[in-house]
Amino acid sequence: MNTYNAHFAAQDDPNERYPLTDVVYYSQFGGLLEVRHDMEALRTRDAEAWKQLFESRWMRTSWPYGSGVWGKKEWVCPTVADENVVSMFEGGTNLFWAERFGRELGVEDLWIKLCGNSHTGSFKDLGMTVLVSVVKQMISEGKPIRAIACASTGDTSAALAAYGAAAGIPTIVFLPKGKVSVAQLVQPIAHGATVLSLDSDFDGCMRIVRQVTADPNSGIYLANSLNSLRVEGQKTVGIEIVQQLDWQVPDWIIIPGGNLGNTFALGKGLLMMHELGLITRLPRIVCAQAQNANPLYRAFCDNWRYEPIQARTTAASAIQIGDPVSVRRAITMLQRFNGIVEQASEQELADAAARADRTGAYACPHTGVALAALIKLIERGEIAKTDRVVVVSTAHGLKFSRFKVDYHEATLAEVTSRYANPPRELPADVDAVRRALDL
């Protein structure tokens, strides 16, 4: 079984490497680590054989391979023992054929990858299953890990807490006091995480969680996105999209971008397929940012010269980030994919989500950003009528009821609700109803 292998590698020094079960987050020079696979070993199986293996496991019952992530275990994290995998059947989410919305927009072949139809309602499950499984492996090897921690106001803490709960590993969530409603936090609370509400802002929470976890004696493992294990799970989204299109590569994949780990992960999975011969061309990747939090868009418009910014409030709260952790590697990746960065105003993202909803989708605001970018690229003629386009939807719309209520009640900031659909009040009278329905 362990013919396959992977390790942490420093991006700045090819000789610096660590086992995936080491508690290490940065290279000696302070850069991010990256999980590197033994590609020679992976090449001993040919492309057709990999496809057949992945198909044979797809959504089946043989533990842990029925999971969309663990069905590709050799490519994701071969060093975790099967019995240490903490899985809730992540991945394998519907690639929704947005037939009506595509027709409205003038593209014939439009798909939305619904990553939010999952256990915790967002794509974060894909990465968290890997991180928590590696921690379970560490514990089984006798490492003194007592808990896993993150600073997060949303999807990351929900996923961490759920997987920790399933595994019986304690979790700790740091968040700024008064800035987060109980509704936003109810997932980690329900999953029994220790939720610490600090008298600080988000950056202050991040500083403290880094300090606490930096002490090797703390026994607290850091789950924030500077931990590169999560990328390994997240990269399966691109592989799945191709697999669900019967191994055909789409022309475009559009993904919303904030901290940019997910954009990097999407590219990483596709490159791995390319390197191992499962695909022979690459799609173009579009990273879509909220105009109110657009440092990557600004870089793209300035020949990739990047400057951090102060992000402003956006309904797409999970990507409201002014200085993304993964910006460097995301830029390198986008260049590889002939990538484009596009932005969406609050008006554009809200309208795009509302229009998609009317055709059967149920878009979160981040997906709204990606759909708004799609609309702009079609209008500019960059995306052609016959192109096959996949939009990555990062969370279930059910996680963003407030956004949708505010839109349809016309109270969303910076937005005129052009597609609002308010209820109509009527007396309890059949004839009045018949008249209202024009019968």
Region 349-368 residues binding its own copies, contact defined as CB under 8 A: 354, 357-360, 362
Q: Could you tell me how many residues make up the chain?
A: 439
Beta strands per DSSP E along 249-353: 252-256, 284-290, 340-344
User: Does 245 sit near its own copies (CB under 8 A)?
Assistant: yes
- Tokens representing 113 are 């990858």
* Residue 297 identity (one-letter amino acid): Y
Least separation in angstroms between residue 21's CB and its own copies is 22
Q: Which is nearer to its own copies, 114 or 255 (CB)?
A: 114
295 touches 324 (CB < 8 A) = yes
How many residues line the site for its own copies (CB under 8 A)? Answer: 90
User: Of the candidates 216, 229, 227, 223, which has an alpha carbon nearest to the alpha carbon of residue 144?
Assistant: 216
Task: Select the residue interacting with its own copies from 28, 44, 140, 421 (CB under 8 A).
Answer: 421
| Contact code string over 76-115 relative to its own copies, x by CB under 8 A | ------------xx--x-xxx--xx-------------x-
Task: Select the residue interacting with its own copies from 6, 9, 20, 167 (CB under 8 A).
Answer: 167
Instruction: Give, as ranges, the residues between 30 and 49 that touch its own copies (CB under 8 A).
Output: none
Instruction: Give, as ranges, the residues between 324 and 353 that touch its own copies (CB under 8 A).
Output: none
Strand partners, 388: 109
User: Does 239 sit near its own copies (CB under 8 A)?
Assistant: no
Q: Which is nearer to its own copies, 35 or 151 (CB)?
A: 151
- Tokens representing 190 are 């329900």
DSSP string for residues in 165-234: HHHT--EEEEEETTTS-HHHHHHHHHTT-EEEEESS-HHHHHHHHHHHHHSTTS-EEE-STTSTHHHHHH
Q: Which is nearer to its own copies, 165 or 375 (CB)?
A: 165
Strand partners, 323: none
378 touches 106 (CB < 8 A) = yes
Q: Which is nearer to its own copies, 40 or 438 (CB)?
A: 438
Least separation in angstroms between residue 148's CB and its own copies is 12
Least separation in angstroms between residue 234's CB and its own copies is 19
- Tokens representing 258 are 């904030």
Least separation in angstroms between residue 103's CB and its own copies is 9
Stretch that binds its own copies, among 10-18, 195-203, 266-274, 298-306 (CB under 8 A): 195-203
